[in-house]
Amino acid sequence: EAGVAQSPRYKIIEKRQSVAFWCNPISGHATLYWYQQILGQGPKLLIQFQNNGVVDDSQLPKDRFSAERLKGVDSTLKIQPAKLEDSAVYLCASSAEDSHNEQFFGPGTRLTVL
Amino acid sequence: SQKIEQNSEALNIQEGKTATLTCNYTNYSPAYLQWYRQDPGRGPVFLLLIRENEKEKRKERLKVTFDTTLKQSLFHITASQPADSATYLCALETGGGNKLTFGTGTQLKVEL
């Protein structure tokens, strides 16, 4: 079975620019997650979708970050405008409908903000 | 405040020995806890899940314990191999719908 796909793999932008990341979860997985992982730290949940509805976005900096999952399948995460502290790896994960299930992670997008 | 703590310093062990990694937490009451492995440049990969009513779980060379009184999980790799070298993350269930909060991870290095 195909894994979680993410693109791009790497992105370098200047501060105040905008950037978007794309994620395609494993087919049939209802839940999709976006995480931010700063170097040397564990992944931090930004937003969690169940189908196309938001379950949790309590740690999403909503003044600059937005995410959508319009048709309940793939998703985009946008940062506008970017700050230096947004430099991190952005990981997308998905899991099946049942709770307690393992999360399957994509390879991540490494963002560098200059 | 809520915290999940893993050994911040890297753990270096010799091949064939048992590696033991610790995950301590405060002010959480997780229904279950998961362990993931992360290699450089890759996303985490699920290893094991243990529920609050389970004391121990095993899978091949891996063993996880979960003590809800001590608020601690231990992750053991027996007969360790250089291929086990990676960062290991513990993750606590902290909300409905399989919401997880991750620790900072412990880097394990298995030397020949």
Q: How far apart are CA A90 and CA A2, in angstroms?
A: 20
* Neighboring chain B residues of A56 at a CB cutoff of 8 Å: 95, 97, 99
Q: Given A99, A102, A105, which is nearest B97 (Cβ)?
A: A99
- Please, are residues A111 and A91 in contact by the beta-carbon 8 Å criterion? no
Q: What pLDDT is stored for residue A2 in this prediction? A: 84
Give the model's pLDDT for residue A99. 58
Amino acid A97: pLDDT: 74
Give phi and psi for B46, each to the nearest 5.
-65, 140
B93 touches chain A (CB under 8 A): yes
Q: Identify which of A43, A50, A100 has the shortest CB distance to residue B102.
A: A43
Amino acid A79: pLDDT? 98
pLDDT in tens, chain A (114 residues): 689 999 999 999 999 999 999 999 999 999 999 999 999 999 999 999 999 899 999 999 999 999 999 888 999 999 999 999 999 999 999 998 765 679 999 999 999 999
Measured in angstroms, the CA of B98 and the nearest CA of chain A are apart by: 5
Mutate to test the interface with A, among B100, B106, B107 (most CBs of A within 10 A): B100
Q: How far apart are the first and last CA of chain A?
A: 37
What number of H helices and E strands is found in chain B?
A: 0, 11
pLDDT of residue B98: 85
- What is the distance between the alpha carbons of residues A34 and A78, in angstroms, rounded to a whole number? 11
Distance from CA of A90 to the nearest CA of B (A): 10
Low-confidence ranges of chain B (pLDDT < 70): none
Nearest CA in chain B to A59: B101
Contacting residues of B for A57, CB less than 8 Å apart: none
Between B34, B43, B98, which is nearest A108 by CB? B43
- In this predicted model, what pLDDT tens digit does every residue of A80-104 receive, in sequence order? 999 999 999 999 999 987 656 799 9
Q: Under a CB-based contact definition with an 8 Å cutoff, are residues A105 and A93 in contact? A: yes
Interface residue B34 vs chain A (CB under 8 A): yes
Query: Do B102 and A43 touch, CB atoms closer than 8 A?
Result: yes
